[in-house]
Amino acid sequence: MAYPVDLKKVKSIRSDAGTIVSAANLVVLEIPAIAAVVADTAGVKTAVTSTASTSVVTTGIVNPAWPRALTATAGGTAGDIKAIQVIVEGTNAAGDVITETLPAFTVDTAGTVQGNKAFATITKITIPAHDGTGATTAIGFNEKLGIPFKLSRNSVIAAYRSSAKEGTAPAVVINASALESNTIDLSSALNGTVVHVELLV
C-alpha cells in the first residue's frame, strides 16, 4: 500500500540566481464541521461533585472530534471552591501519552481555566478535593484546535471558516518538539461549520 510522501523532509531548490534555498510544501488542513464546534465547558466530562478526597475519573469521558485544548470549570457553591489544579492525561494526535496540569481555580469563585495542549483522547482526569461538597468541576474544550505538525515557525498563511477567509490572522502557537503544543485559534468563534487552514511545512 502506497502512502503520501513525508512532507517534513527538507528539500532544496536552486534559485535563478544560482543559490540553494529550502523548499516548502503547501498543506490545507480541513477540520470538518462536526469537529469545528463552539467551545463547550462540559464537552469532555459533565460536572463532578466534589468529595472529601481526590476524584479520579476514567469513565464517562467524551473525546473531542478533533484534537482540542481543554478547560476546567468550577461551579456549584462558590464558598466551597478551592484553588485546586485539575490534571488531565491522554494522548495527542500521534497517539503519544501526554499530561497537562491546568491552571488553579480562584478561591470561592466560579469560573473556567484554560489549557493549552491539544488532546486527541482523554483517559484520566484527576480532580483534587475542594473545600466543600457543594463545589463541582466540569471538563470541556476551548477554541484552540490542534495542528498535526511540529512547527518551528508560524507558517500559517490563512484560515477559513465556512469558506470565508478570516479577516484577522488566527492566534497560532508552535512547538518544534511537542506535537500537542501546536495549536490554532481562529479570530471568529467556531460555529459548527468546516474550517480550512493553509500552512507551509
Q: Is the pLDDT of residue 1 over 50?
A: no
In this structure, the answer to whether residues 164 and 106 fall within a common structural domain is no
Q: Is the pLDDT of residue 13 over 80?
A: no
Tell me what the mean pLDDT of segment 50-77 comes to.
Answer: 98
In this structure, the answer to whether residues 79 and 95 fall within a common structural domain is yes
Go through the chain and tell me how many residues it has.
Answer: 201
Q: Are 100 and 87 in contact (CB under 8 A)?
A: yes
pLDDT at residue 120, rounded to an integer? 99
- The parent domain of residue 184 ranges over 23-35+146-200
In this structure, the answer to whether residues 130 and 161 fall within a common structural domain is no
pLDDT at residue 31, rounded to an integer? 99
The three cell numbers locating residue 113: 481555566
Is 173 part of a structural domain of the chain? yes
* Domain of residue 48, CATH code: 2.60.120
DSSP 80: G
Q: Is the pLDDT of residue 162 over 70?
A: yes
Give the domain-ending residue among 142, 174, 191: 142
- Tens-digit pLDDT profile for residues 189-201: 999 999 999 999 9
Lowest mean pLDDT of 2-11, 65-74, 121-130, 189-198, name the range: 2-11
In this structure, the answer to whether residues 110 and 155 fall within a common structural domain is no
- Tens-digit pLDDT profile for residues 75-121: 999 999 999 999 999 999 999 999 999 999 999 999 999 999 999 99
Residues contacting 52, CB < 8 A, separation 6+: 129, 133
pTM of structure: 0.92
Is 113 part of a structural domain of the chain? yes
Is 14 part of a structural domain of the chain? no
Identify the CA nearest to 12 among candidates 4, 3, 24: 24
